Amino acid sequence: MSASYNPGGPEYDWVLSSGQPAPESITDKIYGNTLSISEIKIADIPDVDLSKTGVTKFGSFSVEVIDPVSDYLELLETVFDFQLIRSLISRPDFSCGY
């Protein structure tokens, strides 16, 4: 339901954590709700530069732009020793088929 790993839903969990599509019962309900939209309100705030990470505040409203690649790399670095992998694959006696 979200392009991020941030919590969502009333209980902060859409229960879609394994990446599967939302059940049709949920998407049908969402679609049904879109049919009753009668107006769209747009906040009168300056544009947010989405190319720069950080938090931009407009009164009590804030927008946080993140770098998901950087966040994911930081997570991977806690799981894999990239320097060790780099030294392994750079050895002349190492070969790998994929």
Task: Tell me the catalytic residues.
Answer: 4
Q: What is the dihedral of CA 38, 44, 2, 63, to 10 degrees?
A: -160
Sole residue written with tokens 């392009």: 3
Instruction: List CB contacts of 2: < 8 A, sequence separation 6 or more.
Output: 8, 14
